[in-house]
């Protein structure tokens, strides 16, 4: 697909997949039914991102605060994650999808940790789409863990406090090496970030949509991408300064 010249390129899409519980409750179903349907949406959206030539997709799947939900719901979500990894393995390999996990893995069960590591290793060669799953993830928690790594380098005499810069944070965050998200989508009508990618979203374009995650399909994703393509990103500069450098589109990447 050729796009008009002034489209801002989209390397990295981040999504807060919200509304599974309400989707189910409105149908008189248990919340777990919403999460099951939500996994089907994940599969469709990953597919569509591959088709749209998006190189990185980060999905907020389980937050550091979600550990506080009823134990049965937490267990269901972990079981669905294991099922997803097993069921999607072949498809990820076939589609060139490489999996990467961000978040505090130490809180996950040994079984989940092993399955995630195996999936990351098996899919490492995938070069079309990096699928980043944010699991046991909180932006504040990630910044605290990054700060500890930097503090350790200072304590070891490798780094002077005055020399600490943004690059030291970037390389210490779970997302080290990934570009910042260009577009953040949140489903379910909530207008908040909920502790997602606090550092990395600094200049992301935001898109909020009322649809619950199980109802967010490829057409809804394409509408979000169309909205993004109309945006003019300035990064604190003037419109005149930022006009240069536009003219790239995903189809050319």
Return residues touching ligand IPE (CB under 6 A).
Answer: 16-22, 60-63, 66, 77, 188, 190, 192, 194, 213
Q: Which does 16 bind (CB under 5 to 8 A by kind): ligand IPE, Mg ion, none?
A: ligand IPE
Q: Residue 195 or 242: which CB sits closer to Mg ion? A: 195
Answer yes or no: 210 catalytic.
no
Catalytic residue among 18, 141, 174, 182: 18
Q: Residue 60 or 216: which CB sits closer to ligand IPE? A: 60
Q: Residue 60 or 207: which CB sits closer to ligand IPE? A: 60
Q: Which does 22 bind (CB under 5 to 8 A by kind): ligand IPE, Mg ion, none?
A: ligand IPE
- The single-letter DSSP state of residue 179 is P
Q: Residue 8 or 21: which CB sits closer to ligand IPE? A: 21
Q: Residue 18 or 48: which CB sits closer to Mg ion? A: 18
Determine the straight-line distance between the first and last CA of the chain, rounded to whole angstroms: 12
Q: Which residue has the tokens 């080290």?
A: 176
Cβ partners under 8 Å of residue 63, min gap 6: 134, 136, 137, 138, 194, 195, 196
Tell me how far, at minimum, the Cβ of 38 lies from ligand IPE, in Å.
6
Residue choice 12, 13, 16, 18 for contact with Mg ion (CB under 5 A): 18
Q: Is 23 in the site for Mg ion (CB under 5 A)?
A: no
Coil, helix or strand at residue 161: helix
- The single-letter DSSP state of residue 174 is T
8 Å CB contact between 74 and 107 = no
Q: Which does 76 bind (CB under 5 to 8 A by kind): Mg ion, ligand IPE, none?
A: none
Which one of 12-20, 30-38, 42-50, 213-221 is the stretch in contact with Mg ion (CB under 5 A)?
Answer: 12-20
As separate numbers, helices (DSSP H) first and strands (DSSP E) second, the chain gives: 8, 6
Task: Report the chain's C-alpha Rg in angstroms.
Answer: 19
Residues 35 and 20: their CA atoms lie apart, in Å, by 5
Beta pairing partners, 99: 131
Number of neighbouring beta carbons within 10 Å of residue 73: 15
Which one of 13-21, 89-97, 155-163, 215-223 is the stretch in contact with Mg ion (CB under 5 A)?
Answer: 13-21
Answer yes or no: 174 catalytic.
no
Residues 223 and 253: their CA atoms lie apart, in Å, by 21
Tell me how far, at minimum, the Cβ of 244 lies from ligand IPE, in Å.
37
Looking at the annotation, which residues are catalytic?
18, 66
């Amino acid at each position: 697909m050729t796009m008009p010249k002034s489209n801002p390129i989209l390397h990295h899409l981040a999504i807060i997949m919200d509304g599974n519980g309400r989707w189910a409750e409105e149908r008189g179903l248990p919340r777990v039914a919403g999460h099951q349907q939500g996994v089907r949406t994940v599969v469709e959206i990953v597919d569509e991102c591959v088709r749209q030539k998006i190189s990185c997709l980060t999905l907020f799947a389980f937050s550091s605060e979600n550990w506080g939900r009823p134990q049965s719901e937490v267990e269901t979500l972990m079981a669905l994650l294991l099922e997803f990894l097993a069921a999607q393995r072949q498809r990820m390999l076939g589609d060139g999808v490489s999996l990467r996990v961000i978040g505090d893995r130490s809180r996950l069960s040994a079984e989940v940790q092993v399955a995630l590591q195996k999936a990351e290793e098996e899919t490492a060669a995938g070069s079309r789409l990096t699928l980043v799953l944010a699991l046991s993830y909180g932006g504040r928690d990630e910044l605290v863990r990054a700060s500890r790594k930097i503090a350790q380098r200072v304590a070891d005499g490798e780094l002077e406090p005055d020399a600490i810069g943004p690059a030291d944070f970037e390389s210490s965050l779970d997302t080290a090496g990934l570009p910042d998200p260009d577009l953040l989508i949140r489903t379910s009508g909530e207008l908040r970030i909920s502790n997602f990618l606090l550092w990395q979203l600094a200049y992301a374009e935001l898109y909020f949509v009322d649809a619950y995650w199980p109802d967010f399909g490829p057409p809804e994703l394409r509408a979000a991408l169309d909205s993004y393509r109309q945006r003019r990103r300035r990064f604190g500069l003037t419109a005149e300064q930022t006009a240069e450098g536009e003219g790239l589109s995903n189809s050319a990447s």
